[in-house]
Structure 1
Amino acid sequence: MVSVDLGRRGFVEALAGFPLAGMAPVDQTSSPPVVKVAAGAGRLDDIITLPGGDRIHVKVATQESGGALFMTEQPIERRGSGPPRHYHEEQDEWFYCLAGEYVVEIGEQRFRLGPGDSILGPRRVPHAFVYDGAGPGRILIGFTPAGRIEQFFRELEKRGQYFGNGSPEDKELAHRLYGIVNVGPPLKL
């Protein structure tokens, strides 16, 4: 390691030449308010009900992260409950088991998650999960970048059924609007 004694003037001149072009001042007035989200709750009581009755508690809304992250907690009480096999064209999906047991398939691999276990489902790789516990379970799921995933879940609540379970037009709509491609039925235990 080489030591260079710049002195005060040399240090200031070197610092002035340091590239700061990509750094912009942070605008504190446009930041969303900081909100603590309690266990078993959604941000500002934001809870989305999925087809079949499962709920999503919104922990980090898309707008809070500038579109970088959408984070949910999903309490599940029905063994065998989970989404159809699908993939996201633009989002990685991270699963973290808080309580209960889950079976997660990513690509051709099957994993069992217990409390504290997590796994990442990379974008464009088919995946699905199913709850396989006795009693209530909870799983934390994060999407990055958030893209339009939050809107997708809000639309599911309005529709009352998953995209892609019906006609080819319905599958194309989920793909075109949300970048989600359904490739199979929910997992079976």
Structure 2
Amino acid sequence: METKRTASPIVRQPGEGARRWFFGGGVHTWKATEQETAGAFLLFEDEMSLNKVTPLHTHPESDETLYVLAGEILFSMDGTDYRLAAGGVALAPRGVPHAFKVLQEGTRILCLQTPGVAQAFYDGASEPLGASPDSGAGSPDGGHLPVDFGRIRESGRLNGGIDIIGPPPFPET
């Protein structure tokens, strides 16, 4: 007999939630995990540095919604670029190629993935802040840890959740 999973009640104040340095650049603050929502969704805030870029990628099993909390990003989806400032939103349906570049210092986004099936990918592609001497606990950019797209790709290969299909689609500045 299979036990039905149910979501856990969640209340988090600003700044609360596990914080992890993501090897694609930035600090994730987990607002609602896959386990807490019984797989319904995954929600995290991402604090990013100026000029951070993501490779062109898809999420094969989840839709990804990005809501810009502060700052501005250049969002590329299916070959078209869009500038999104605070209050802007973009939805990349599962399987649709997308990437983004941070255009302003202090940019923060809220990322919602539905359903929440990519937690293992993010765990494999990140490290808890304060877990090592170089992790930069308390530093908004994760201290000395480098961006490591190889680790991102490997976590996707091992855990699913993302397919990296090419380099960032933005001209280098």
Output the TM-score relative to the length of structure 1: 0.70
Q: Which has the higher contact order (CA 8 A, sep 6+)?
A: 2
Say whether residues 1:188 and 2:170 are aligned partners.
yes
**Which residue identity does 2:101 align to in structure 1?**
V
Per the alignment, residue 15 of structure 1 pairs with none
User: Gapped runs of 5+ residues in structure 2?
Assistant: 128-145
Q: 1:60 aligns with which of 14, 17, 32?
A: 32
Output the TM-score relative to the length of structure 2: 0.75
- Give 1 or 2 for the bigger CA radius of gyration: 1
What fraction of aligned residue pairs are identical, expressed as a percent? 29
Question: How far 1:42 sits from its partner (Å)?
Answer: 4.0
Equivalent pair of 1:71/1:141 in contact (CA under 8 Å): yes
**Which residue identity does 2:170 align to in structure 1?**
K
Equivalent pair of 1:93/1:141 in contact (CA under 8 Å): yes
- Against the structure 1 CA distance between its residues 177 and 36, is the aligned structure 2 distance closer, same or farther, given a 3 Å change threshold? closer
Question: How far 1:137 sits from its partner (Å)?
Answer: 1.0
1:154 and 1:119 map into 2 onto residues whose CA distance is: 24
Higher helix residue share: 1
Aligned length: 150
Equivalent pair of 2:16/2:31 in contact (CA under 8 Å): yes
Find the residue that maps to 2:51 and give its secondary structure. Answer: coil
Per the alignment, residue 12 of structure 1 pairs with none
- Against the structure 1 CA distance between its residues 81 and 42, is the aligned structure 2 distance closer, same or farther, given a 3 Å change threshold? farther
* 1:69-121 residue CA offsets vs partner (Å, 9 max, x unmatched): 00111111x22103211001111000101110101111111111011110100
User: Gapped runs of 5+ residues in structure 1?
Assistant: 1-25
Please list, as runs of the form range in 1=range in 2, the aligned pairs for 1:153-164 lying within 5 A after superposition.
153-158=122-127, 161-163=148-150
**4+ aligned runs moved over 4 Å, structure 1:** 163-166
